Structures are given as C-alpha cells and as structure tokens.
C-alpha cells in the first residue's frame, strides 16, 4: 500500500469502515510517521537551499566590492603611474577585470537559480506541513470519536 493509498484510507475512515478493520491506529501511525519524515526532509532541503542562497549572495557582494576598486585603480592614470604599470600590464589588468565581471555575472545568475529552488522547496514544505497537520487533526478526531463511542456503551 503506497503513501497515497494510506492517506486516502485515513481520510476515508469513518464508523462504517472501522467496524470491519482490525486496527486503524496502526495505519494511522504509519501515515503520520511518513508525514513527519516528509516534513523533516523538506525542512532540511529548504534550510540548506536558503543558506546556500545567502552565502552565494554574500560572496557576490564581496566579489563586487573587490572588483569596483580594482577597476577604479585601472582607470586612474595617477594610480597606474604610482604602481609603475606598463601598457601591457594595464591591458592584462583590464582583461582580468573583465573576466572577473563576467564570472560575477554568472555567479549572480546562479544565485537567482538557487533562490528559486529555495522558494520552491519552501512552498513544498508548507504543503507537506499542511497535509501532515490535516492528517494529524483527522487522526485525533478519529481517536475522539472512538472514545465517545466507548463512553456511550
């Protein structure tokens, strides 16, 4: 029996079905344990992706913070003369700055992709948590129903 079948069975449990069932608590606990595992995994995935997003954005900010002063030094003739750069060194520095800028652009694009994955995993976490909560409420109501039936007898 798959998780979907168990979930449907839990949602469809009522007094008529319980009359012939051996122990519905076992199926209920199996479903709730699966829900707990699913919520835990989505939490771990979402948290990991959000941390990766944060680190990637910070890394790109630091890289831009290093690139901008480097380019400013290359464009200022006084700084070029102070460091004693030859025209070949200046061209090599400009090429390195251009390569670094393109790499930062790729990094920013990757950051946006990781951000999208983090947002998607958060949505799946919310959906899994909601489903688990509804199943727990349903299981609790089933337990209360059983207790009320026993009190009536």
Spatial distance between the Cα atoms of 19 and 21, rounded to a whole number of angstroms:
6
Percent of the chain with pLDDT strictly greater than 70: 84
> How confident is the model at residue 29, as a pLDDT?
83
Tokens standing for 147? Answer: 């207790």
In order, the DSSP letters of the chain are --HHHHHHHHHH--HHHHTT-S-HHHHHHHHHHHHHHHHHHHHHHHHHHHHHHHHHHHHHHHHHHHHHHHHHHHH-HHHHHHHT--HHHHHHHHHHHHHHHHHHHHHHHHHHHHHHHHHHHHHHHHHHHHHHHHHHHHHHHHHHHHHHHHHH-
Query: What mean pLDDT do residues 78-90 have?
Result: 89
Residue 19 scores a pLDDT above 60: no
Mean pLDDT for all residues in the chain:
87
Over residues 41-59, mean pLDDT: 97
Give the list of residues 6+ apart from residue 53 with CB closer than 8 angstroms, or none.
111, 114, 115, 118
Decide if 119 contacts 45 (C-beta within 8 A). no
pLDDT tens-digit map of 21-45: 556 677 778 888 889 999 999 999 9
Q: Using pLDDT thresholds of 50, 70 and 90, give the confidence band for residue 13.
A: low
Q: What is the pLDDT of residues 66-75, one digit of tens each?
A: 999 999 998 8
Q: What is the pTM of this model?
A: 0.73
């Amino acid at each position: 029996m798959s998780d979907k079948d168990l979930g449907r069975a839990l949602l469809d449990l009522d007094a008529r079905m319980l009359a012939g069932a051996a122990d519905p608590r076992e199926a209920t606990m199996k479903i709730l344990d699966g829900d707990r595992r699913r919520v835990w995994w989505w939490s771990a995935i979402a948290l990991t992706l959000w941390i990766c997003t944060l680190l990637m954005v910070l890394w790109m900010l630091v890289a831009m913070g290093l690139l901008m002063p480097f380019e400013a030094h290359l464009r200022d003739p006084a700084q070029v003369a102070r460091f004693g750069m030859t025209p070949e060194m200046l061209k090599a520095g400009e090429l390195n700055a251009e390569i670094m800028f393109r790499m930062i652009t790729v990094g920013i694009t990757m950051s946006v992709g990781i951000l999208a994955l983090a947002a998607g995993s958060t949505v799946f976490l919310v959906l899994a948590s909601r489903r688990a909560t509804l199943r727990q409420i349903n299981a609790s109501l089933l337990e209360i129903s059983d207790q009320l039936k026993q009190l009536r007898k």
